[in-house]
Amino acid sequence: MSQTVTKEGITEVGTMKRDHYSMIINGERVENSNGEVFETFNPAKGEAIATVARANKEEAEKAVRAARNAFDFGKWRKYPVGKRARVLNKIAAIMRERFKELVEIEVLNSGKSVGAAQVQINQSIEDFEFYAGAIVGHRGEVNNMPYGFFNYTHKEPVGVCAQIIPWNYPMMMAAWKIAPAIAAGCSVVVKPASLTPITAIILNEICHEAGVPEGVVNTIPGSGEVVGDYLVQHQDVNKVAFTGSTPTGRDIMEKASSTLKRLTLELGGKSPNIVFEDADLEAAVPGSLFGIFFNTGQSCEARSRMFVHESIYDDFMEGFVEKTKKLQLGDPFDKGTHVGSIISRAQLEKIDSYVQSAVEDGATILTGGKEMKIEGFENGYWYEPTIITDVSPEMKAVREEIFGPVVVVEKFADEKEVIKRANDTEYGLGSAIWTTNQARATRVAHQIEAGIVMVNSPFSAFPGTPFGGYKQSGFGRELSVETLDLYMEDKSVLSYYGSKPLNPFGV
């Protein structure tokens, strides 16, 4: 069952007018062949807001076939880069026109605060604008050769890409992956998270409205165990880009190895936040607050391990606890709300289990540490912003990714010591340094084993800044010019232009 996606059909859809979302395959709205659907929820209220067509292997195969045909026989990869760039800019323009709608749907489907959603939708728009500009100047090279030979490298799109999107940044992560892939000339099959599939589906519709040909972008909501596994192992998928947990990333890497797929993995984190004795506390306190509690702590680069120099520990913690207690939780559409809901009951219980394990291990909770009931949102999933002290390195809450509004805080005495402790983790995604000593900032930044180092800044990324991790936080960099190369192959073309024929064997 399918229905052609048209511009008129898209623009008639308002935020509150639609209670069912279909898959998008080859430019058509497609339902499951057996009529299977699943409900998607507003976690702030614990209420279903729409049904979504469930993809299984049959639909995944259709999506791969559509993407393969679009790549092998379609016109998108053959477009001049300037024409592809104009389409990407058109996508961004339509997203700006529908900004309020996209923000509202993102809030409804994820429970995040409207302020967080506005930032993320805006960056999603900027991602398409960034890659529209980046692809125009992205080219191969001419290399120095012996006399009589000419060599250049030609960049070609890698092919069909499976892109597996997490639930914590539904639209933004989709934009991070779709924009560079289609800018490079690839075709994609997007599998959004089952908890938050709506904005990825709408983004696919916007791509078609902007002029992306049928089959270049396909979106199939479904389970990771069925749809994700099928895409990862499919021989006609050339590349997989995944953002999610480290255990799932390992599984994807193993399964993709059978066909030697290109991989980009942006995985878990347990990022350190180091506050030195010379830090400007007026910046470090609110910056550290944002670093852990933005997006309800449900962020891979959340600065969830805090190290504070012993000489300023009391002053810093007094301000940090005070500001944490002032954070507003409640109606996600209220502009005064700082912290939204947890994504699901299961995730809330996981967060609480980590907090309780810390208490059992002898840690102290300075504030928070329990589920909340919010008036008007009693059935939603809410957890108090939590600060834990008196921790030790072997504690589960210190070593493992909690993925919620929970920070563990430790004292340190000197620079060498804190670098060693900051690096004592299997992860290496983000990190933050607060100091007014630029030499120290540079020295420490170069020793931290992480792909991202924030110096006196709560913000981890803008379009153009490479985003990715060391160690078990994955590999590959997104959000930057270099990302385009993850979706391209370099072909070396070597020509001989000498006047005499070459006869290496001399026969």
Task: Classify each residue of 323-336 as buried b or exposed e, where b means 16 or more C-beta atoms within 10 Å of its C-beta.
Answer: bbeebebbbbeeee
Q: Are strands 262-266 and 37-42 parallel, antiparallel or unpaired?
A: unpaired
266 is catalytic: yes
Catalytic residue among 28, 209, 266, 478: 266
Q: How far is Cα 423 from Cα 362, in angstroms, rounded to an integer?
A: 23
Per-residue three-class SS string for 188-257: EEEECCCCCCHHHHHHHHHHHHHCCCCCCEEECCCCHHHHHHHHHHCCCCCEEEEECCHHHHHHHHHHHH
Alpha carbon distances (Å) from 484 to 74, 127, 344, 489 = 20, 12, 34, 10
Q: How far is Cα 27 from Cα 5, in angstroms, rounded to an integer?
A: 6
Q: How far is Cα 92 from Cα 104, in angstroms, rounded to an integer?
A: 17
Q: How far is Cα 342 from Cα 353, in angstroms, rounded to an integer?
A: 14
- Tally: H helices and E strands in the chain: 16, 26
Residue 86 class from Cβ within 10 Å (0-12 exposed, 13-18 middle, 19+ buried)? middle
Q: How far is Cα 387 from Cα 384, in angstroms, rounded to an integer?
A: 10
Q: Hey, what amino acid is at 357?
A: S
Q: CA 325, 329, 331 angle in degrees (round to 5)?
A: 160
Given a contact cutoff of 8 angstroms between Cβ atoms, the answer to whether 340 and 111 are in contact is: yes
The DSSP code sequence of 303-353 is --EEEEETTTHHHHHHHHHHHHHH--BS-TTSTT--B---S-HHHHHHHHH
Q: How far is Cα 84 from Cα 272, in angstroms, rounded to an integer?
A: 40
73 CB-near residues (< 8 Å, 6+ apart) = none
Per-state percent for the chain, helix, strand, coil, to nearest 5: 40, 20, 40
Which residue has tokens 């497609």? 30
The DSSP code sequence of 250-308 is HHHHHHHGGGT-EEEEE-----EEEE-TT--HHHHHHHHHHHHHGGGG--TT---EEEE
Nearest to 96 by CA among 123, 73, 76: 123
Point out the residues that are catalytic: 266
